A and B are shown apart, each in its own frame.
Chain A
Amino acid sequence: MTVATPPFRASRPINQKTEPFLGRKATVLGNGLQLLNLRMAICQAIAEEMERDPTIVVMGEEVAQYNGAYKVTKGLLDEFGPDRVLDTPITESGFTGLAVGAAMTGLRPVIEYMSWNFSFPAFDQIISNASKMSYMTGGLFNVPLVMRGPNGAGPRVSSQHSHAVEALFAHFPGLIVVSPSTPFDAKGLMKTALRQQNPVCFLENEMLYGYEQDIPVADYAIPFGVGDIKRPGRDCTIVAVNRSVHWALEAAEELAKSGIDCEVVDPRTVKPLDIGLIAESVRKTNRLVTVEECYQTGGIGAEIATQIVQMCFDDLDAPPERVTTSENPMPYAANLEHETLPKPHRIIAAVRRACSR
C-alpha cells in the first residue's frame, strides 16, 4: 500500500522525545500516527517484515548482543533470537559473500555495515557477485539481499569514516541504491527492499538517526524510483538526497527571506532515479541545483544534470549547479570539515549563482 507523505516538518528538532533509543516500539499519537525517529523507523520495518517472513535474517558486526553500533537493530535479538539475529566477526567480505550465498539458497539476509566505509573490504562480493548474479545466470538465480548502514560524514570522524557511496554503487547495474532522508521514507523504502528480489544498498546517515517524524502506524511501502517534493517552490529546483535534503531545506528557508522560493526534490532512491519528477520541477523553476555528499567527479549531480540538460534544454535559464563534497579526503579540523561538506552556505551560493542569470 502506498500512502501520501505526511506533512514534513523540517523544523522538528532532533532527539527530543524518542531518546533514549526504543527499538521498534514508538509512541502512538492517535489519529493513526506514531512518533518515532529514523533509526526506530528502520528497526520497525525490519521487525515487522521478520514477523511476516521467516526467511529474513539479520547479521553484521555488533547487531545482536550490542544492539547495533548505532542501535538500529535494538531489541531484534531479544525478539527474534540468535538464529535470526547474528553477530558476525569483523569480516565484511566473508559475511557479505555468505549473505549472497544464503540469498541464492532461500534466505533473505539483511546485513549491516557498521558504516558503509567498512563495505569496501566487501566490494568484490557486492559488485562481482551480488550485482551480477541475476544477469550472468540468465535469470536462474536472484539475490534478495539488503545491505544497510550509515553513510556519509559523521561528526568529525575524518578521512576513512566519512564517505558517501550513493554514486559509487549507483554506477553498477544490478544494484538498487536507496538513500532516505526521513523516518517515513526510510520505513516505507525498507519495506519495499524486503519484498523484492534484488540486492539493495540501503544508505542511512548517522546524523539523521535521531530525526523524528509522525508516521502512520498502518503498514505502507514506498516504491523504488518515486521521488518526493520536500518543499514546493517556484524559482529554483534543488535536488538533494539523504542528509543533504536537510541542508537544502535550511538553505531554502534562508533564501526565502530574500525572496527566492526554492523547490526541494528528494529522489529517495538514486537507482532507479525519478528523473521525471525532477524534470517536472525544472520545467516549472527553470533552474537546477544538485546537492550530495558524494564527490563531484562522476557524482549523482553529474548524472542528474546531464539528463536534465537533455530533457529540459529549452527550459533552463541557467547552467545546472552542483554542490558536492569538495574533492579532498575529509579533514579532521572543524573548519575544514565544514567547508568540505555541501552545507547550506554553499547551497545558498549555488542557488544565487543560478538565479542571477
Chain B
Amino acid sequence: MIQISQPPRHAAAATARTVMGQERVLNALRQMLRIRRFEEQAEKQTGIFRPGTQIKKIAGFLHLYIGQEAVQTGFAQHLDPTIDATVTSYRCHALAILAGEPTTALMAELFGKDTGNARGKGGSMHFFSKKSRMLGGHGIVGGQIPVGTGAAFSAKYLKTGGVSVSYLGDGAVPQGTFHESLNLAALWKLPAIYVVENNRYGMGTACSRAVSVENIAEAKAPGYGMVGLTCDGLDLYDVWATAKEAVALARSGQPVLVEAKTYRYRGHSASDAGLYRTKDEVDAYKKLDPIERIKTDLLSCGWLTAAAWDTLEEDVASEVATAVRFAEDSPEPPLNELATHVYAATPAAKG
C-alpha cells in the first residue's frame, strides 16, 4: 500500500464540528451525499458499464466530481448566494447542486431535455444558476477564472459586499488566465477567492509533470502579493475552516489563493480508463473518502445514528430516482429552440 500525506490541518479545523453545529454538519453531509449519488446515477446512465446494451441516456463528456465533494461543500457553507458568485470548470455538477438547482432539471440537462437547467443546450459541462449566481460550467481549461474575477469586480463596483469563488483544477494552473486573473485581483484588491482543486491529475498528466512547484498556493500567492492557504480537500472540517478564513479575507478586500489537495476517484471523464495511476493509489485515497470520514465522525460523536444514515441514503436515492424519471419523461427541446437564445433578443435585419 502506498503512503499518502495530506497537508496539516488548519488550526480551526479541530473545532469546526462544534462551531458548525449538528444541523449544519448534517446538512453538509447530506449535500455531499446528494452530489455523490447524483453523479453515480449519471455515470450509470451513460451506459458505459453496460456494454452491449442500448442504454445511453447521457452522451458527450461527463466529468465526475466523485471524491472531491468536501471542497465545494465546505466553501458553500460560508457563501451567501444572494451576493456571492461562484464559477468552475466543466466538472460542475456539484456546484449547481450546491447552488440549489433542482436535481430534476440537472438530470434533464444531462439527458438533453427541454426541462434541463439550460434547456438542453448546455449539457454536462455547462450547468448554471441565475438565482444563486453560479456562473458555470466552463469547458475550456482556465477559461472560467477571469469570469469569476469579473464577478468580484462587479461586487466591489456595486458595493454588494459579495465575494466570488473561482474553482479550477491543477491542470488550469499553467494557463495564462490563472496568472492574469490573480494579478488583476491583487492589483485591484478584488473580493476574489481562487480555489485550486488539486486532484493530482490534469486529465492523464500528474500535477508534478505539469506544475513546477509542489504547493501551489504557498508558492504562487506571494508572487502576486496575495494570501495563500492550503488545505486537505478530503477533509470537510479542514476545508470549512480554511474557507472561513479565505471568505473573511476576501470580504475585507483581500483576494486569496487556496489549494485544496483532493482526489478524484473516477477518470478525468467517464471515458477515461485511468491507466496513468495505480489501483493501490486510488485505494489509498479511497480510505480518506470525505463522505465516509464525516459519516464515521458523526456516528462516533452521536450526531448521526445508523438509522438516520439509512434514512438519509433512502431520501437521496429517492431524489435521484425522481430526477431520472423526470429526465426520462421530459420532452426533447422543440426544433425551434435551435435558434432561440443565440442572441438576447435576436437582432432583426431589414429586408
Cβ of B152: which chain A residues have Cβ within 8 Å of it? 101
Contact A94 B183 (CB under 8 A): yes
Q: Interface readout for A97-128 with B: 1 if CB under 8 Å, 0 if not?
A: 11111111111000000000000010011001
Contact B153 A98 (CB under 8 A): yes
Contact A94 B146 (CB under 8 A): yes
Cβ of B230: which chain A residues have Cβ within 8 Å of it? none
Closest to A128 in B: B140
Closest to A279 in B: B351
> Given A128-B143, A135-B341, A136-B121, A98–B150 Cβ distance below 8 Å?
yes
Cβ of B137: which chain A residues have Cβ within 8 Å of it? 136
Closest to B162 in A: A105
Taking CB atoms and an 8 Å cut-off, the chain B residues in 129-169 that contact chain A are: 129-130, 133, 135-140, 143, 145-155, 157-158, 164
Q: Is A60 an interface residue (CB 8 A)?
A: no
A89 to B183, CA, bound (A): 9
Q: Is B176 an interface residue (CB 8 A)?
A: yes
A135 to B242, CA, bound (A): 36
A88 to B181, CA, bound (A): 12
A139 to B140, CA, bound (A): 20
Interface centre among A140, A196, A272, A273 (most CB of B within 10 A): A140
Cβ of A102: which chain B residues have Cβ within 8 Å of it? 150-151, 153-154, 157
Contact B135 A91 (CB under 8 A): no
Taking CB atoms and an 8 Å cut-off, the chain B residues in 61-113 that contact chain A are: 85, 87
Contact A89 B187 (CB under 8 A): yes
Q: Interface readout for B321-340 with A: 1 if CB under 8 Å, 0 if not?
A: 00000000000000000001
> Given A107-B157, A138-B122, A97–B146 Cβ distance below 8 Å?
yes
A137 to B147, CA, bound (A): 15
Contact B143 A97 (CB under 8 A): yes
Contact A91 B121 (CB under 8 A): no
Contact A134 B150 (CB under 8 A): no
Closest to A276 in B: B351
Please classify how large the interface on chain B is, using the bins under 10, 10 to 19, 20 to 34, 35 or more.
35 or more
Closest to A109 in B: B150
Cβ of B155: which chain A residues have Cβ within 8 Å of it? 105
The number of inter-chain residue pairs (CB within 8 angstroms) is 173
> Given A198-B344, A275-B349, A129–B116 Cβ distance below 8 Å?
no
Contact B341 A105 (CB under 8 A): no
Contact B135 A104 (CB under 8 A): yes
Q: Is A355 an interface residue (CB 8 A)?
A: no
Q: Is A184 an interface residue (CB 8 A)?
A: no
Cβ of A139: which chain B residues have Cβ within 8 Å of it? 119, 340-341, 344
Contact B350 A277 (CB under 8 A): yes
Cβ of B180: which chain A residues have Cβ within 8 Å of it? 91, 93-95, 97
CB distance from B17 to the nearest CB of A (A): 34
Closest to B176 in A: A93
Closest to A272 in B: B349
Cβ of A135: which chain B residues have Cβ within 8 Å of it? 121, 341-342
A103 to B140, CA, bound (A): 19
Q: Is A312 an interface residue (CB 8 A)?
A: no
A197 to B346, CA, bound (A): 10
Q: Interface readout for A256-290 with B: 1 if CB under 8 Å, 0 if not?
A: 00000000000000001111110110000000000
Closest to A144 in B: B344
Taking CB atoms and an 8 Å cut-off, the chain B residues in 167-183 that contact chain A are: 176-177, 180-181, 183
Q: Interface readout for B2-31 with A: 1 if CB under 8 Å, 0 if not?
A: 000000000000000000000000000000
Q: Is A226 an interface residue (CB 8 A)?
A: yes
Closest to A143 in B: B344
Contact A97 B150 (CB under 8 A): yes
Q: Is B275 an interface residue (CB 8 A)?
A: no
Q: Is A298 an interface residue (CB 8 A)?
A: no
Q: Is A173 an interface residue (CB 8 A)?
A: yes
CB distance from B130 to the nearest CB of A (A): 5
A90 to B122, CA, bound (A): 32
CB distance from A143 to the nearest CB of B (A): 8
Contact B347 A176 (CB under 8 A): yes
Closest to B179 in A: A94
Q: Is B49 an interface residue (CB 8 A)?
A: no
CB distance from B192 to the nearest CB of A (A): 10
Cβ of A100: which chain B residues have Cβ within 8 Å of it? 146-147, 150
Cβ of A137: which chain B residues have Cβ within 8 Å of it? 118, 121-122, 126, 128, 130, 136, 341
Q: Is A96 an interface residue (CB 8 A)?
A: yes
CB distance from A156 to the nearest CB of B (A): 30
CB distance from B345 to the nearest CB of A (A): 7
A105 to B135, CA, bound (A): 9
Q: Is B249 an interface residue (CB 8 A)?
A: no
Interface centre among A141, A227, A277 (most CB of B within 10 A): A141
CB distance from B338 to the nearest CB of A (A): 10
Interface centre among A106, A173, A223 (most CB of B within 10 A): A106
Q: Show 12 residue pairs from A and B whose CB-CB distance is below 8 angstroms, ordered by the A residue.
A: A89-B183, A91-B180, A93-B177, A101-B151, A101-B154, A105-B154, A124-B143, A125-B177, A128-B139, A135-B121, A197-B345, A198-B343
Show the binding face of B for A, using Cβ within 8 Å: 85, 87, 116-122, 126, 128-130, 133, 135-140, 143, 145-155, 157-158, 164, 176-177, 180-181, 183-184, 187-188, 340-345, 347-351
For the complex of A and B, list the 6 residue pairs with the smallest distance between their C-beta atoms, beginning with the closest. Answer: A276-B351, A101-B150, A97-B146, A94-B180, A138-B119, A197-B344
